[in-house]
């Protein structure tokens, strides 16, 4: 693991690191905030997954999570959203496919299958690396994210309920297999058989029997992607009768930006801290 930068913030450390990923077959960059409590004892970990076009840096620079994470004693891990590098396949004509648009899945179709293995990277490789480098209590993990990252957080939690004790999302894509900006990517990554898409679709996972105790979702009513891409009411409908809890908060005037995310970041960190206590 290589150190790119380390800065003191709120008594803790904000770091940016890189390493050679076996899952993605390239160098990957990620950020970690370690609160001051980690000097004395292992701390719970919350994973933040970013949205389309983002890197680790978007939430690190604009998410405003450090003050509350330091107060609550939470380690925050912010991975990248896709493999990177000159030799990595990309789709230059679409921001919804290729670099910056990994959708937190393991691709099976060429030319994507060799590098676009973000599900394995997030659930196996990166946890194994960071747990050796930082004082993390891996028995207390939460996960959240924004948009494509909200999709990633919800699907990963639903498939790994024994690992994660909390999950929340900002404006998640809850049914990517039918959303305008995600279905084409799923077809290119996973092939034309829509049955393969279901394990990366929160609504479909619930329909197929996956369970997680509860979710927090915040959504802006002024979000330009709400009607065609996000549609949180579909998840609300999918969980009826399942016992899955949902706190869905719809906010007037808020859009899809980090102004929205930073406005409710404290609420999400408190949500995770309560469930990781």
**Strand pairing report for 136-146 and 164-170:** parallel
| Residue 220 CB neighbour total at 10 angstroms | 25
Catalytic residue chosen out of the listed positions 147, 166, 168, 177: 147
Q: Is 242 helix (H, G, I), strand (E, B) or coil?
A: coil
- Can 262 be counted among the known catalytic residues? no
Concatenate the DSSP letters of all residues of 231-244 into one string: -HHHHHHHTTTS--
Count of C-beta atoms within a 10 Å radius of residue 253: 8
201 catalytically annotated: no
What length does the chain have? 277
How far apart are alpha carbons 250 and 232 in whole angstroms? Answer: 9
Integer Cα distance of 256 and 207 in angstroms: 27
Residues 137, 261, 257: CA angle, nearest 5 degrees: 140
Please name every residue paired with 167 in a beta bridge, in sequence order, or none if there are none: 143
223 tagged catalytic: yes
Q: Report residue 101 as tokens.
A: 């648009």
In the set 106, 201, 218, 223, the catalytic residue is: 223
Question: What are the structure tokens assigned to 220, written together?
Answer: 């802006």
Among all chains, which residue has been given the structure tokens 């330091």?
70
Give which of 230, 48, 74 is closest to 126, Cα–Cα: 48
Q: Catalytic one among 146, 256, 268, 272?
A: 256
**Three-state secondary structure string covering 258-269:** HHHHHHHHHHHH
Catalytic sites, residue numbers: 147, 223, 256
């Amino acid at each position: 693991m290589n150190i790119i930068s380390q800065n003191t913030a709120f008594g803790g450390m904000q770091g940016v690191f890189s390493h050679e990923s076996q899952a993605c077959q390239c160098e990957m960059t990620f950020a970690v905030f370690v609160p001051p409590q980690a000097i004395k004892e292992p701390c719970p970990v919350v994973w933040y997954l970013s949205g389309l076009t983002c890197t680790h840096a978007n939430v690190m620079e604009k998410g405003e999570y450090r003050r509350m994470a330091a107060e609550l004693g939470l380690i925050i891990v912010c991975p990248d959203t896709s493999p990177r590098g000159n030799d990595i396949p990309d789709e230059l004509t679409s921001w919804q496919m290729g670099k910056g648009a990994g959708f937190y899945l393991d691709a099976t179709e060429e030319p994507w299958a060799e590098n676009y293995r973000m599900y394995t990277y997030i659930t196996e490789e990166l946890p194994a690396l960071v747990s050796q480098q930082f004082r993390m209590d891996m028995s207390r993990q939460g996960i959240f994210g924004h948009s494509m990252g909200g999709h990633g957080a919800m699907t990963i939690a639903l498939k790994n309920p024994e690992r994660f004790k909390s999950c929340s999302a900002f404006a998640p894509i809850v049914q990517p297999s039918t959303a305008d900006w995600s279905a084409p990517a799923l077809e290119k990554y996973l092939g034309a058989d829509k049955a393969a898409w279901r394990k990366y679709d929160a609504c479909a996972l619930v329909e197929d029997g996956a369970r997680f105790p509860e979710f927090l979702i915040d959504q802006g009513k002024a979000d330009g992607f709400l009607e065609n891409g996000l549609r949180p009411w579909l998840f609300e409908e999918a969980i009826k009768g399942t016992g899955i809890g949902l706190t869905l908060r719809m906010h007037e005037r808020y859009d899809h930006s980090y102004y929205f995310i930073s406005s409710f970041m404290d609420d999400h960190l408190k949500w995770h801290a309560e469930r990781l206590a």
